[in-house]
Structure formats: structure tokens, C-alpha cells
Amino acid sequence: MKRSSLVRGGGGGAQESRLWSLWSWALALVLLAACRAESEPGYFGTVGRRGGAPNTFYVNNYDEPEHLDPALVSESAGSTLLLELFEPLVGEHPADLHAIQGTAERYDKSDDNRSYRFYLRQNARWSDGRAVVAEDFAWAWRRVLVPETGARQVTMMFALKNGALFHRGELAVLNAEFGGLVKGTPLRSYERTPENLRRAPALVPAEATHKLVGVHRAMPTFTGVAPPASSLTAAGAAASVAGAAASVAPSPEPLFFVPAALLERSDAVLGVRATSEHVLEVELEQPTPYFLELLGYPVFYPVRRDVVERHAGSGEAERWTRPEHIVVNGPFTLARHDFRYEMRLEKNPFYWEKDAIAIERIVVFEVPSAQATLALYKTGELDYLGSNGALPTGSMDRLLGYRDFGRAPWTGTYWYEFNTERPPLDDVRVRQALNLALDKRELIDSVARAGQAPATHFVPELTGSGYAAQVRADKAAGVDPFATRLLGFDAARARALLGEAGFTVRERDGTWMAEGFPPLEVLYNTSEGHRAVAVAVQALWKKHLGVSVTLRNEEWKVMIKNMRDGHFQVARFGWVADYDHPHNFLDTFLSYSQNNMTRWRDEAFDEVMARAAAEPDSKRSIALYRQAEERAVHAMPRMPIYFYTKSWLIKPYVKGFYPNAMNKHPIHWMWLDESWRANPENRPAHVPHELPPPGSYAP
């Protein structure tokens, strides 16, 4: 019996309680079928397929994706699907994730690692047959940086030259000649503060219609836009602007006034442009060692301007991502989307390597229940559990011995977010006390039960780019900043901190009571695993602090919206790496990050992060990242709970699946091997196209 007759959960407007009653009914039927399923010794459940269509892959996504627009995706439920729908400039090898060809066949790179030139393949096509061109990438990247787009992962684009300034509206160009400066001259805006006024020339107009600006000295070299070496006579400025297109000088730039009406936003100042149909040039703000890895994240995917703008004025801007409208350049297209139930992806007939893709279609379930998912797998309804969920914690011990079970460390951290603007969580001592009162080892051993490691900080210790090496060196030297009694389990210290915050904790009849402490609410998205952790946190805070906690669960999209709107106190969350560098975790703490839902702001943290990103020496850079992380940990806007491991079940006939710490498993590399018993070899469905060594970049 196929899932369609078992677990259909109603329309998109169904209430959560109704959905859960339907899931419970479905689970009972599936479990009954599971009891009758024929299994093979050594494997969990059947190794056959229950009527599955040939070359159709069945997988669970667990949640309805929040977005399918690459500019807006910031969570795994969406990004996992986009791996199949879009192709980036540079791909990732399925076995070890090293950079391979994507839409680009080769690239050039400058000696200082700041300038790139990508050469797109001539046969790349969109799903409507139109050629993929360099401007599709350039426009998509510029769109991410426009504030009106609302991209949550916009900080990734700050790697581009002038990306941050453009996004913040601090960079403009002249729309007419002014004071010896030619039309199109890029200028950086400054606030009209006393300090900046002192930096301006003595004779400046005081009219309110004028805006204080300064020449920005770090423009992309390939734009050809640079102010002349002349005086700014019209503004009364005597300072020269010679060399304004050179690197930023250590001394402050001269400031002058320009009429605000002469300034306009222009994406020509950004470090990305299409120089021909198949050549894309990129300039970075500073050397970024993980830039090729960044290109694999959805915000760097191409999108078609005409497709997006066709629906921009409809009041439903994301209408373009519906099956009947979406145009993609990846191995699969979106053929069907039944909200909160199922999605169907069909092979893209115009994909340049379509003949090498072995899977013809992907059926994506959206079953939030881990128990139901496990039962569906057991009966052969699923080929792979999927990358976005977790196995039921109560099943971990019995699954360990099966040959189709696997587990690997994962570059991800499970944490709870605090709304630092909501009392009493606006007091750092309260946040620190809640962290100290949580026995994370007990929680892992009794609840999570998947070999996770207790987390005292935010960046997983296996993170690459030099971070893991620094962790080992710190521990060997006995100077690990996160191995302190202030970050481990210490209930007595936690009670003392609550007392310092004005909530005395007293023992009454063998029970702790936090006097005057208001009840807390923990928000989590619907999942048995997340509920189990929340119940454990509730019990531990009550046991060690006498703090009362209520629990509230919501569907993923609803929870995310409430968190972004600030409608929460404590919320279950976490982060898994989009690229293998500590910046990926720590930039979510930046005061201007769209992913900082805690409302925590710290200028010193922002400053250290900027220094870390700009530091060319990798060891010094990682040391600065560790320094920034230490500052965030002691402020505790988020409470780290454990570092992830990833456990999975995948049928033995599925080939092209490789464990990796990033938990990336694109299905377009997989295939179904009917002769798997006689053929133990595991290989991708087709040979990855390796990137040749980069050529030398010449302007």
C-alpha cells in the first residue's frame, strides 16, 4: 500500500491537532504493515520496494520548506530541495565535497585571491530551453543584496566588493557631474555627526537638502569608475581626492557635502558583473579562502530576472516558485507541490547532463513524525529517510547493528535561542544560569542518544579551515577558552547567578524555588525529538532552579515567523554548516545579521568579526574568530546544547550516497542498483567533472 492512501494530512489550512490525529492514524496503519514486511537478515525492514515506480526515488523532507526562492532560503528544508533544482557556478563532489564543475567549466583567480573570472559552459540551459548566461548570476546576486528582497543569508554576499556598504545603503553614485567629479562617481555616505563635520572642509553648505558624504576608496578595479584627481570646488572642499579608487588609506577620507538629489543607488559599484554572455567576473572585499564553498549555497544560485519580475507586482512575489511558473537550471524541475504533504521533482529535459542522471523523478514526502518515517522506511515506502530529520531517540540502540544504518559527526550545533529583549532574559546572568543548570551529558544519554557531544560553545570542533587544528592546539596547551566551570554543568553556580539577578533560589521541602521568577515558555517545531529535548530541559530547569517552564510546539514555518517577529522567550533552534568555516556559525550573531533572532547586539563582537574576516594570515584569523566566539558565549544569547551527529537509514540498493560531515546528499548523484547483492561497489551515477586548476587572472 502506497503512502498516498495512508498519510494524506489534509489541506494547508488544517489545524495542528487535526494533523497530528491524522499522523497517528497513519502511523498505526504503517506499523501494522511493517509487522508484515519481509526483511533480510542484517537489514532494518524490507530490502525490496513496495510498488515503487522504476527510477523514482522516495525520500522524506520532514517539513514544508519556508521558501523555494534561492534568495530567501535559510533553512535545510528548503536548501536540500534547491540542491536538485538549481546548479551553482561550482559544484561539490559527492564523495568528499571538493569543488568540481557546475555551470562554470573553469575559472581564473588573481594572486591575491580577490579577483575571479568564471567561464560558463555553452550548453547550460534553463528548464524552458533558454541559455543560462552570466547575467543570470550577476542579477541574482545583486538581487540578494537589495534590502527590499529580505534575504536572510545576505551576509554571505558581503564577501563581494562593497556588498555590505551597498546593502546598508551607504554607497551611492553621482547621477550628474558635481565639483569636478564625473557622473557615476561612487561615494560613501556618512552620518552628519559632529565628528564627521570636523573631518569635512571648513566651508561647507549647511542646507538640510545636502548630505554629508565621503569618497569611497575601495571600488572594484574592473568597473573603471574612479573620481578624478581634482579639487571639489563646488562643495568648497580643498582636500584632494587623488587615488580615490585605490585601497583604503589608513587615514580618514576627506569629507564634503553633496546635494542628496544627486545621489542614487547603483549596483555598478558591486564586485560582480557579466563581461560577456558566458563570462562572469567577481571581485571580493578581501581574500576569502572559502569562497568556492560559498558558491554552493542558494543565495549564489542563478535566477531568471524575467521570471521573478513577472510576478513581483502580483502581491505574491513568490508565486514564481510555484510548479506552473518556476524556471530552474538544475538536474530536476518542480512538477508538483501539495502543501505540507508531498512534492514531485521530474528530470529537467534541458539540463546539460540530463542523460547521465539515473533518477527520473523524486517523490518528496513531508512527514514530520520520526516514528511514521521509520515505519515507512521499514515497509519499503522510502528509499532514504532524508537529510533533514532525526531517527526516533528510542530506536537508536536497536538500530546500531543494522547494515543500512549509519552515523557520522556533523558540522552542526543544537541550541536554544533566548529573546534578549524579553525580561528576565534581558539579564545575561539569567541566561548564564539557565545554561549552567542544564546537565547536557544527562540530556544526551537519556534523551538524544545518538552519540552527540555536549556543547559549551557554538562552532563544532570538527569545523575546517584551521578551526579544528586550533581546538586541538588549545586543548593540548590547556588554554581552551570553553573548558571552564562557568560553561559546564554547575547547578549551585546557576542558583547563585539567579540570586545576583534578583531571583533568590531557596530550598523548600527538598524542592528549589526561584522567588519572583516568571514562568518561561519554550517554543519548538513539531517533532518527537525536539519535544523530548524540550521536556528534558523543562525538567532540569525545574529540578535545579525551581523555574517553571511551559512548552509550545508549532509547525516550522509558523515558528520561524514568530521567532523573527520576536514572539518568543526561548526557542529550539540550531545551525548546520553551509560552508566549512567558523564564519558560517558566528556571522549569525552579528548585530546586522538577518539570522540573529536573539536581538543581541555587541559592537565589540562585530568589530572582532570584521578583523577576523579581513586577516590574511589563516592562523591569526582563526584566533580572532575564537576570540569573537568567546565573547558571544559569555553573553549567552543562545544556549549551546550539543554538537550534532547524523544518523541515517538508506536502502542497500541505493548507490552514490556518501557520508560527510556537511550532511549533503544530492539525489542527482544516486542510482538504484537492482544487482546490489552481487555488486558491492558504490559509485556516483555519473563521473563528476573535475575543475581544472585555476588560470591566472589578468584584468
Domain identity same for 326 and 213:
no
Rounded (5°) CA angle 582-300-339:
100
655: β partners: 671
pLDDT at res. 27: 52
Q: How confident is the model at residue 172 (pLDDT cuts 50, 70, 90)?
A: confident
pLDDT at res. 197: 67
Indicate whether 5 pLDDT > 60. Answer: no
Supply the CATH number for residue 349's domain.
Answer: 3.40.190.10
pLDDT at res. 389: 84
Domain identity same for 472 and 578:
yes
Indicate whether 616 pLDDT > 90. Answer: no
Between CA 552 and CA 541 the distance in angstroms is: 16
**Range with the largest mean pLDDT of 161-175, 185-199, 240-254, 341-355:** 341-355
pLDDT at res. 216: 36
H/E element, 438: none
Least confident span in 193-197, 376-380, 403-407, 565-569: 193-197
| Secondary structure of 471-539 as H, E, C letters | HHHHHHHCCCCCCCCCCCCCHHHHHHHHHHCCCCEEEECCEEEECCCCCEEEEEECCHHHHHHHHHHHH
pLDDT at res. 233: 32
180 grid coordinates: 569636478
Indicate whether 195 pLDDT > 80. Answer: no
Indicate whether 223 pLDDT > 50. Answer: no
Number of domain units in the chain: 3
Indicate whether 37 pLDDT > 60. Answer: no
Least confident span in 20-29, 102-111, 320-329: 20-29
CB 58 within 8 A of CB 365: yes
Please state, as a whole number, how many other Cβ atoms lie within 10 Å of the Cβ of residue 336.
14
pLDDT at res. 35: 47
Phi and psi at residue 611, in whole multiples of 5°? -65, -40
The pLDDT tens digits for 466-479 are: 999 999 999 999 88
Q: Is residue 34 part of a domain?
A: no
Indicate whether 566 pLDDT > 80. Answer: yes
Domain identity same for 353 and 459:
no
pLDDT at res. 377: 95
Q: Nearest to residue 210, comparing CAs of 262, 264, 166?
A: 262
Least confident span in 33-37, 83-87, 240-244, 297-301: 240-244
**Range with the largest mean pLDDT of 224-238, 252-266, 556-570:** 556-570
Q: Is residue 570 part of a domain?
A: yes
pLDDT at res. 259: 76
Between CA 398 and CA 414 the distance in angstroms is: 24
Domain identity same for 190 and 329:
no
Tell me what the mean pLDDT of segment 123-140 comes to: 98
Q: Mind giving me the DSSP string for 63-110? A: S--S---TTT--SHHHHHHHHHH---SEEE-TTT--EEESSEEEEEE-
Domain identity same for 431 and 520:
yes
The pLDDT tens digits for 641-679 are: 999 999 999 999 999 999 998 899 999 999 999 999 999
Q: How confident is the model at residue 70 (pLDDT cuts 50, 70, 90)?
A: very high
pLDDT at res. 51: 65
Supply the CATH number for residue 583's domain.
Answer: 3.10.105.10
3-state secondary structure of 467: helix
Q: Within a 13 Å sphere around the CA of 63, how many CA atoms are in the beta-carbon half?
A: 24
Q: Which residues of 17-37 are buried (b: 16+ CB within 10 A; e: fewer)?
A: eebbebbeebbeebeebbeeb
pLDDT at res. 38: 52
Indicate whether 300 pLDDT > 90. Answer: yes
Q: How confident is the model at residue 34 (pLDDT cuts 50, 70, 90)?
A: very low
Domain identity same for 400 and 413:
no
Indicate whether 46 pLDDT > 60. Answer: yes
The pLDDT tens digits for 318-330 are: 899 999 999 999 9
Q: How confident is the model at residue 591 (pLDDT cuts 50, 70, 90)?
A: very high
Q: Is residue 33 part of a domain?
A: no
Domain identity same for 367 and 422:
no
Domain identity same for 363 and 413:
no
Between CA 448 and CA 453 the distance in angstroms is: 10
pLDDT at res. 48: 83
Rounded (5°) CA angle 360-666-558:
105
Indicate whether 16 pLDDT > 60. Answer: no
Q: Is residue 550 part of a domain?
A: yes
pLDDT at res. 402: 95
| Lateral strand order in the sheet of 549-554 | 453-454, 638-649, 405-418, 570-576, 520-525, 549-554
Between CA 412 and CA 644 the distance in angstroms is: 5
Domain identity same for 384 and 424:
no
Domain identity same for 435 and 367:
no
pLDDT at res. 248: 30
Q: How confident is the model at residue 1 (pLDDT cuts 50, 70, 90)?
A: very low
Residue at a domain's end among 380, 407, 434 = 407
Please state, as a whole number, how many other Cβ atoms lie within 10 Å of the Cβ of residue 194.
6
Domain identity same for 446 and 485:
yes
pLDDT at res. 397: 87
Residue at a domain's end among 364, 391, 407 = 407
Q: Nearest to residue 438, comparing CAs of 454, 422, 417?
A: 454
Q: Nearest to residue 52, comparing CAs of 18, 85, 3?
A: 3
Between CA 421 and CA 536 the distance in angstroms is: 25
Q: Would you call the peptide bond into 424 cis, given omega within 30 degrees of 0 as the criterion? A: yes
Between CA 384 and CA 666 the distance in angstroms is: 12
The pLDDT tens digits for 225-249 are: 333 333 333 332 322 222 222 223 3
Between CA 119 and CA 108 the distance in angstroms is: 9
Domain identity same for 496 and 398:
no
pLDDT at res. 201: 57
pLDDT at res. 15: 36
pLDDT at res. 200: 62
Q: How confident is the model at residue 211 (pLDDT cuts 50, 70, 90)?
A: low
Q: Is residue 195 part of a domain?
A: yes
Please state, as a whole number, how many other Cβ atoms lie within 10 Å of the Cβ of residue 231.
17
pLDDT at res. 483: 82
Rounded (5°) CA angle 586-588-590:
85
- What 223-227 contacts at long range (C-beta under 8 Å, 24+ apart), as own/partner pairs, is 223/268, 223/269, 223/273, 225/173, 225/184, 225/185, 225/186, 225/268, 225/269, 226/185, 227/181, 227/182, 227/185
Phi and psi at residue 60, in whole multiples of 5°? -105, 135
pLDDT at res. 586: 96
pLDDT at res. 498: 97
Q: CA-CA-CA-CA torsion for 560, 565, 571, 577, nearest 10 degrees?
A: 50
Indicate whether 683 pLDDT > 70. Answer: yes
Residue at a domain's end among 235, 264, 293 = 264
Q: Mind giving me the DSSP string for 178-193? A: BTTBPTT-EEEE----
Indicate whether 565 pLDDT > 90. Answer: yes
Q: Is residue 287 part of a domain?
A: no
H/E element, 223: none
Q: Mind giving me the DSSP string for 633-676? A: HHH-SEEEEEEEEEEEEB-TTEES----TT----GGG-EE-TTT
CB 162 within 8 A of CB 219: yes
Q: Within a 13 Å sphere around the CA of 310, how many CA atoms are in the beta-carbon half?
A: 12
Per-residue CA distances from 555 to 78, 373, 559, 570 (Å): 15, 17, 6, 16
pLDDT at res. 360: 97
Indicate whether 373 pLDDT > 80. Answer: yes
Q: Is residue 442 part of a domain?
A: yes
Q: How confident is the model at residue 557 (pLDDT cuts 50, 70, 90)?
A: confident
Phi and psi at residue 413, in whole multiples of 5°? -130, 130
CB 116 within 8 A of CB 160: no
pLDDT at res. 32: 46
Q: Is residue 76 part of a domain?
A: yes
* Residue 331, domain extent: 3-18+41-96+309-407
Indicate whether 33 pLDDT > 70. Answer: no
Tell me what the mean pLDDT of segment 543-547 comes to: 97
